[in-house]
Amino acid sequence: MVNPQMVMYEEEFNQIQTVVDRLVKEANAKVVFIVDKNGQLISASGDIDNLDTTSLASLTAGNIAATGGIAKLLREQEFAAQFHEGQNANIHIQLVGNRVILVVIFDAKSSLGLVRLRVRKATDELNRIFEALLSKVQEPGSDSPFAEITDEDIDNLFND
């Protein structure tokens, strides 16, 4: 199989959401979200109503991809963490298990030290959850809801 699917189940989703919700509180953050390395948003929490999380997810993944490219050229395995400081907002980006990206957006109510501390703890927990999730996804397609779709279903999507 050329292209393994990433699958998210309810159980793991809830566990991830719990970690993310707690991180918002414990790190005094404005927003916390998790993206996979291809730019798909997995989970988000905090003040996200006025935030374009889809675009943020894609750009964060692009950023991590570019940084990973730089690391490779420097014969570094990966730069696991990044920090960008703005006038009002700061952003901390952490690779988790080289698979997903944990992003924390915070302002003056928090500090880089606190964010890093809390992120480290959350990273361990997330690592465990994603490991479990990956081991669960053995045979993609076997229980995929898409195994039973018909050509007609696909055609219907385009009949507008």
Partner 1 sequence: MSFINYMAREINCKIVYYGPGLCGKTTNLQYIYERTNPDAKGKMISLATETERTLFFDFLPLSLGEIRGFKTRFHLYTVPGQVFYDASRKLILKGVDGIIFCADSQIERLEANQESMDNLRTNLAEQGYSLEKIPFVIQYNKRDLPNIVPVEELRELLNPMAVPDYEANARSGMGVFDTLKAVSKLVLTELKRGG
2: contact with partner 1 by CB under 8 A: yes
85: contact with partner 1 by CB under 8 A: no
74: contact with partner 1 by CB under 8 A: no
In whole angstroms, give the CA distance from residue 57 to residue 3. 21
Where does 23-145 show beta strands of DSSP type E? 31-36, 41-46, 81-85, 90-96, 100-106
- Choosing from 59, 89, 108, 112, the residue that interacts with partner 1 (CB under 8 A) is 59
From 34, 80, 78, select the one nearest 57 (Cα to Cα).
34
In whole angstroms, give the CA distance from residue 144 to residue 148. 8
121: contact with partner 1 by CB under 8 A: no
Binding stretches for partner 1 (CB under 8 A): 1-10, 13-14, 36-40, 42, 52, 54-55, 58-59, 62, 65-66, 68-69, 139-142, 144-149, 151, 153-155, 157-158, 160
